[in-house]
Amino acid sequence: MIRPQQSNATRTTPGQRPPRNSPLNAVVTVREQQEQAALQIYAAATREAEIGRQRLQGLALEIQSAATEFQQRIVRGCTASELAQLEDHCERLQRRRIECERAIRFAEEALKKALSCWHSVRQSREVVEKHLENVKRQAEKRPGRKEPKAIDDQAVTRKPRRQRVSNERRAAS
């Protein structure tokens, strides 16, 4: 059985993210939450499959015990009605075994789907994290990068282009 593993190499820590809150950080957070939800679904499916296997093992022991008792009663001798009751009991146990096997198959399918879902959510998160790392790396490589506040200050001190043009026209007249 394949079990998902959380990779510490691909997990981001708050120190790896850009200092400002960005939409990419929000997307990473959402992807991490989706991954945790998928892991919880996978864990629940694993528990269901394990419970079904344990039930099947218990039923197999019951069936074996009932078959042994049936054979011993035949050897020791008993009435036909007692044998009919034992045979009915064995048949009921066999039907329960078949139902339990069906439930296990269903649980294993759910387990496969949960694993597939977790895998795709994990890949989505890794893609966003990789993009976030690339954005951060590109921002660090830019030479002479100005701080956002300095850029805002420059934008406030400049006159809008339209006013300068109209002022120049007035001066020319």
| CATH number, position 138 | 1.10.287
The answer to whether residue 135 is domain-embedded is yes
Claim: this prediction has a pTM higher than 0.75: no
What is the number of domains present in the chain?
Answer: 1
- Domain range spanning residue 112? 24-146
Q: Tens digits of per-residue pLDDT, 103-127?
A: 999 999 999 999 999 999 999 889 9
Under 8 Å between Cβ of 161 and 75: no
How many other C-beta atoms are found inside a 10 Å radius of the C-beta of residue 159?
A: 8
CB distance 24 to 111 below 8 Å: no
Q: pLDDT digits over 78-109, tens only?
A: 888 988 998 999 999 999 999 999 999 999 99
CB neighbour burial string for 120-144, b if at least 16 within 10 angstroms, e if fewer: ebbeebbebbeebeeebeeeeeeee
* Side-chain half-sphere exposure of 125, counting CA atoms within 13 A: 22
Examine residue 106 and state whether it is found in any structural domain, yes or no: yes
Decide if 130 contacts 79 (C-beta within 8 A): no
